[in-house]
Amino acid sequence: VTQGLWHHMMGGAEPECLNCPKTMVSWNDAVDFANRLSEFEGLEPCVVEGDFIGLQCEGYRLPTEAEWEYAAKAGTEQLFAGANSPVSVAVFEWNSGGTVERVAQRKSNQWGLYDMSGNVFEWCLDDFVEEPVRRMDPLYQTDSQLKVGRGGGFRSKEEAIRSTSRSSASMDIRQDFIGFRLVRTTLP
C-alpha cells in the first residue's frame, strides 16, 4: 500500500512520496485501512466490530503468514523473493542508503510481485508464535499482542529479508520501516 493510496482513502497531509510504501502504520491501522478500502469498493469487510470473520471474507485483509511466504516464493526455492541474491530484488541495509525506496524499483519475483524482500517489514494477519503451526488453515490466532511481520526492511540485514525469515512486533507499534500489503480471497 503506497502513501498515495493511503492518502486517497484516509486523508491527512499530502505525502512527500506518493509511490513510496505507507509506513508508520500499526497492525490496527492496516486492518482499519483494509476495511475502509473494502467498504469503498462495496465489499464485505473482513473485520467486523473487532472480530475477524474468516479467510473467506469478500473484502481486503492482511495476508496470513503462510500466504505471504507462498506469494514471496512464487513457486520457487529461491532465498529471496525473486532471486538467490538480494541485490537485484531488495532494498536492505547494504543498498538502501538508510531510507525507504519507491515501490517497484527493483526486480519482481516470478509472479510479478515487487518488494517482498526488503524495503518495509509487512504486517501479516497471524499472531506471532515461536514455532508456527503448519496446517491447511494457515491462520494462527492467540491472545498475543505480537503480530507477525515478514520481508524485512531497508534497515534489515540480508538474513532478515529472506522469504522464510520471520519477525514480530507489538500490534500498536508504528515505525518508519513498517508497512503492509493487502490480499483478497478469490470466492467462487
For residue range 112-146, list pLDDT tens digits in order.
999 999 999 999 998 888 765 554 445 666 677 89
Nearest CA-CA partner of 36 in 62, 60, 63, 52: 60
| Cβ-Cβ contacts under 8 Å for 127 (sequence gap 6 or more) | 140, 141, 142, 143, 144, 146, 147, 148
pTM confidence score: 0.92
